[in-house]
Amino acid sequence: MATDKQNSSGMAKLVTEKDGSFKRQESAFRNTIEVGGVHPPEKGRYHLYVAYGCPWATRTIILRKLKGLEDIVGLTVVSPLLGSLGWAFKKADDYPGAEDDPLYGFNHLREFYFKVDPTYQGR
């Protein structure tokens, strides 16, 4: 099994506040899906990428199910190991249950950010 194990415990390296809480950095990509908006709701237009090791991803999976969006918003699972290049698709980390990127064939999720903004500076 090919696995990017370098820094696979990356979640433990997240910087916390003095009180132990974690403050997420401001998102560089925050938009709203709305009728008449820049990003209109359309079947097949959006795709959800999740890592079961991410608590935020778990919430999006639950919401997708509760809202009945399984046939509208696609879903791909990446490796739960947070490697040195971030969350990896199956071809970069053959972790059981991880899937290949069906849209662009990327190796790591971070490649989406660089596709949109080659100067992206986030994690």
- Token pair, residue 84, equals 């040195």
Catalytic residue at 54?
A: yes
Reading the block at residue 112, the tokens are 């989406």
Catalytically annotated residue among 54, 69, 75, 85:
54
HSE-CB for 68 with a 13 A CA cutoff: 0
Alpha-carbon gap, residue 120 to 72, rounded angstroms:
29
Distance CA 123, CA 113 (A): 10
Active site residues: 54
